[in-house]
Structure 1
Amino acid sequence: MTAIESPYSFLVRPTTLARGSVTAEVTTAIRNAIVSLALPPGSIIDKSAICEQLGVSRFPVSEALARLQIEGLVDIAPQRGSTVSLVRIADVREYMLIRKGLESEALRVLIGSHDASLIEALHANMAAQREAAERDDAETFHQIDIEFHDIIYRSMRFSKIKNIIDSARSNLDRARRLIITPRRLALTIAEHQQIFDGILAQDQGKANRAIRAHIDAVMVELFAFAREHPTMFADGAQLGPDSDSFPFG
């Protein structure tokens, strides 16, 4: 008799579940599935199947979903169950505005005070981006993309700024994955190179314009995608026909 494959086979069962960490491990596993779109927006969440796949009781799964509801990744309706929340363009727009302000200011502070290790790390990261794009490895590219920005924050030791951006990252990452194409990978590399060139030249204005243009370009593409696929977004039907909903300047 052939065993039926779990509908949640993409969820990786933790190798160790220490007492007190079960809910955290389950939360991370489900969050990763939602952010990577393995659990797509609007999909119904079967708690029993998740319990079986992860080898845990219903309590940590229920607690994990409650935590993810607070993060805006899960909708819980009494007597109706849980679903993966739709992406809200309005929220993404606000998060990206926060990123644009913080990252452009962070670059202004950084340039002129950075050391050689930052340049070496960014050189290696740009090379890794190109290698992932050549393989059309979107998931690896996405992680390297995140690392590109994290390298800059680590070099400044601006942990509070990084924490603010990280708190908004789950929904941002989910939205950005929706528009990952070979064309977007190539554009992202070019946009990152412009930022890096500004750092190399110690030109605050150039780097600042580059980071703002990069964020604006991603948002313009996301808005266009949302207009073409409005049902994938909580507020997709509310988007107007204009192409200037973003940037904010």
Structure 2
Amino acid sequence: MSSSNEAADQGDPYLALHKLQGGERGNLTGAVEQALRDAIVTLAFEPGAMLDKQAICERMGVSRFPVSAALTKLAAAGLVEVLPQRGTRVRPVVIHDIRQHLFIRSALEVETVRSVALACRAATLDALAQNLEKQREAVGAAQRHTFHRLDLAFHEIMLDEIALPRVKEIVTVSRSALDRARQLIATPERLTRTLDEHQRIYDAIRGRDIEAAARAMHGHLDQVVAELRRFAAERPDLVEE
């Protein structure tokens, strides 16, 4: 976990933001949007948190215009919402939305893993194996954010193998909408189970077992909703039906 995220975890979410450097000032709105998106996805700003525009401006060293423009884009992406007379807050995670994005991912990624298991290059198998080893190291070191990046890369390796860029684009959009939910349920136990699920997917691909690979991928994605419902029972302030 980065020092900024550690600082945010200790009580001040605005410490997850950084002052913009010279190279980033060419696109102020884009840089502010990305920084806020990262802070929201990694839960520095929790679901339901109110956002203080002035605090963002001061922390990042920018005027109110790029902050307002960035928040407008994040609202269109469903990450924040404007509450009349109150301001802007981070949207709660909504299970109904999560189920829709998982439906899309399941439909496309189950077929992806079928294709990969049918004809997978040795280089791709090696890349998956190396990624799994790094996942194992991240789990052992309790590096939640590192594991999350490796998780994304594991799925991207398979999407790249089938060489269908439109499919990858659609999956990426739906996957981005799930990032916050994945972070909410990323307990050490969940990371261990995710690693085991990834291992089953890899083993099926390596064994050229198409149906086993499809079942493993389907079960892996289904676990997100199951875990999120359990989490919602504990923290209804962060998750809505």
Work out whether the TM-score is over 0.5.
yes
The aligned runs of 1:225-240 (5 Å cut-off) are 225-235=231-241
Can you list the C-alpha shifts for 1:115-169, whole angstroms capped at 9, x where unaligned? 1110110010010010000001111111111110011111222221121122123
Letter in 2 for 1:210: A
CA deviation after TM superposition for structure 1 residue 18, in Å? 5.5
Q: Which residue of 2 aligns with 1:24?
A: 30
- The letter of the residue matching 1:62 is S
Is 2:150 aligned against 1:144? yes
Would the aligned equivalents of 1:17 and 1:25 in 2 still touch at CA under 8 Å? no
Matched letter for residue 164 of structure 2:
F
Matched residues, percent identical? 44
CA distance, structure 2, for counterparts of residue 229 and residue 115 of structure 1:
44
Question: In structure 2, which of residues 213, 219, 223 is the aligned counterpart of residue 213 of structure 1?
Answer: 219
Matching residue within 155, 158, 161 for 2:164: 158
> Residues 186, 42 of structure 1: CA spacing in aligned structure 2 closer, same or farther, 3 A cutoff?
same
Counterpart amino acid of 1:78? P
Moved over 4 A (4+): 17-20
CA-to-partner distance for each residue in 1:77-126, whole Å, 9 max, x for gaps?
A: 23321011101110001111111111001112222322111011001001
Aligned 8 A contact 1:7 1:49 in 2: no
Counterpart in the other structure of 2:109: 103
Match of 1:48 among 47, 54, 73: 54
Distance in 2 between the 1:215 and 1:44 partners? Answer: 31
| Other structure's SS at 2:46 match | coil
Question: Is 165-174 or 32-41 further displaced after alignment?
Answer: 165-174
* Larger relative contact order, structure 1 or 2 (CA cutoff 8 Å, min sep 6): 2
CA shift in 2, pair 1:17/1:88, >3 Å: same
Unaligned runs of 5+ in 1: 236-249
Q: Quick check: which has more Rg, 1 or 2?
A: 1
- Which structure's residues are more often helix, by fraction? 2
SS of the residue 1:14 aligns to? coil
TM-score, normalising length from structure 2?
Answer: 0.91
1:118 to 124, 128, 137: 124
1:202 equivalent in structure 2: 208
Structure 2, gaps ≥5 residues long: 1-10
SS at match of 1:27: helix
Letter in 2 for 1:213: G
Which SS does the other structure have where 2:93 is aligned? coil
RMSD: 1.6
The one-letter code of the counterpart of 1:166 is T
Q: Residues of 1 paired with 2:18 and 2:208: CA distance?
A: 44
CA contact (8 A) 1:6 1:49 kept: no
